[in-house]
């Protein structure tokens, strides 16, 4: 068991399955995602099957099962962005990086997450890449924006 995970688990009573969500949140905060190894550690400590933990964790959008990419893309799915086409934006991003929301591209370069209102509704639809906002994005501008990040890796 990794030291960090062990420290997290010891904050909670052994076998107290009602703490599953806070335990997973703590693990993800430390590791950045829920690794298979960590889920097994949680499973042993809370005395519940790992398959059940995966089942619960996949139900919640907040949990990730892979490390974030070098460039973490957040697509706003708040109301203003939705009305102005954020679903199409999301689909374009998924097409460009080759994975669905909640995942990381195979080359580890990009990860994608849908988020609620980012507080910049006047600039909708909005995406953020590592915290840098891109305003009024369109399905056409997505490729250009993401291609620029990809090019930075080839310099």
Interacting residues toward ligand FES by CB under 6 A: 76, 78-81, 117-121, 124, 126
Task: Decide if 90 contacts 133 (C-beta within 8 A).
Answer: no
Residue 40 vs 80, nearer CB to ligand FES: 80
Alpha carbon distances (Å) from 96 to 66, 106, 146: 19, 12, 8
Least spacing, CB of residue 116 vs ligand FES, in Å: 8
Start-to-end CA distance of the chain, whole Å, equals 39
Residue 21 vs 116, nearer CB to ligand FES: 116
How far is 5 from 34, CA to CA, in rounded Å? 11
Least spacing, CB of residue 117 vs ligand FES, in Å: 3
Residue 27 vs 81, nearer CB to ligand FES: 81
Alpha carbon distances (Å) from 69 to 4, 11, 130: 22, 30, 10
Residue 64 vs 134, nearer CB to ligand FES: 134
Structure tokens at 55: 């089942």
Question: Which residue is closest to ligand FES by CB?
Answer: 78
Least spacing, CB of residue 96 vs ligand FES, in Å: 20
Least spacing, CB of residue 16 vs ligand FES, in Å: 38
């Amino acid at each position: 068991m990794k030291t960090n995970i062990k420290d997290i688990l010891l904050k909670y009573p052994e076998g107290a399955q009602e703490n599953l969500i806070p335990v997973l949140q703590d693990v993800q905060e430390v590791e950045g995602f829920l690794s298979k190894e960590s889920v097994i550690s949680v499973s042993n400590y809370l005395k519940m099957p790992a398959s059940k933990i995966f089942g619960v964790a996949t139900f919640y959008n907040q949990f990730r099962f892979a490390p974030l990419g070098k460039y973490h893309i957040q697509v706003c799915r708040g109301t203003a962005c939705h009305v102005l086409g954020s679903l199409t934006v999301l689909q374009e991003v998924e097409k460009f990086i080759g994975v669905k929301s909640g995942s990381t591209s195979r080359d580890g370069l990009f990860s994608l997450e849908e988020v609620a209102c980012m507080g910049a509704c006047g600039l909708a639809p909005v995406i953020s890449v590592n915290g840098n906002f891109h305003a009024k994005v369109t399905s056409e501008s997505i490729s250009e924006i993401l291609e620029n990040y990809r090019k930075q890796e080839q310099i």
